Amino acid sequence: MFTGAMVALVTPFQQGKVDFRTLDELIDFQLENGIDAIVPVGTTGESPTLSHEEHKKVIERVIRAVRGKVPVIAGAGSNSTAEAIELTEFSKKIGADATLQVDPYYNKPTQEGFYQHFKAIAQEVDLPIVLYDVPGRCGAGMTPDTVVRLAELENIVAIKDATGKMDHVSEIATRCDLTILSGDDSLTLPIASVGGKGVISVVANIVPADVKAMTDLILQGDLVSARQWHNKLFCLCRSLLSLATNPIPIKAAMQILELGPEELRLPMMPLEESKKAILEEVLKDYGLLE
């Protein structure tokens, strides 16, 4: 269920409010282009600046719009275990297929703290969990030992790895049977070479069919052909990561391509005009602009 091309969906805003009409259009765009799963209200979905009510409404709207066509992996993580449990219970109640659970951020738990946090969620709510290990965002991350312990829990089924460390990924792959998903678009193929089964992708917001073409080849075991897609996508992926903090560049790209509004919420700011010029050249080089 949790392999292939999965989009880390942006949350569109208009005049400070969630733009649900555009959200529906973005979901239709993803479904029309064959995406394998939709992941709302993660980092790319600006979950830190959504109220709890908005967070729940976005999850509910996505599930309703998807209509069971592909799995919905709802962002339900928090640095408060009780809050993560509440969001996970809500996600199950309204029909999510799984939840994405990020490393508890800011409070920098010990490895035992990571383990007990995720274990509590897994034991409290019977719903598949995709762990999200992203130490660069959270100030701390899990060791392979902790991930392997968590893999023993029945409903922890996958991990989105955004550590950027191939040895780390390799150790997890050799020591447990969690499905490993890339959390960095530019590392999807390298991670696949050591056992990865797909990506939760930012760039899929604008080129879902291309990301899926690459992951389909990965799942077929044809890494040589997949490398052609990796080479095509690489510059686009790196630009969307290097120009500014995600999701600033992807929202700028979506506005340029008339897919959705650029609007973000503070403390996130729009992409600088000088960098937009660079982004437009990247989009032209890729073939997305005339």
Catalytic residue among 132, 197, 251, 276: 132
Q: Which residue has the tokens 């600006």?
A: 46
**Is 268 within 8 Å of 246 (Cβ atoms)?**
no
Give the DSSP H/E element, type plus range, for residue 266: none
Residue 263: DSSP 8-state:
-
- The maximal CA–CA distance of the chain, rounded, in angstroms, is 53
Please tell me the distance from the alpha carbon of residue 74 to that of residue 63, in angstroms, as a whole number: 9
The number of CA neighbours under 13 Å toward the Cβ of 90 is 20
**Which residue among 160, 197, 212, 251 is the active-site one?**
160
Residue 160: active-site member: yes
CA-to-CA distance for 290 and 284, rounded, in angstroms? 6
Six token digits for residue 22: 């555009």
Query: Tokens 């937009």 — which residue?
Result: 276
CA–CA separation, 194 vs 20, rounded Å?
39
Query: Helix, strand, coil % (nearest 5) of the chain?
Result: 50, 15, 35
Positions marked active-site:
132, 160
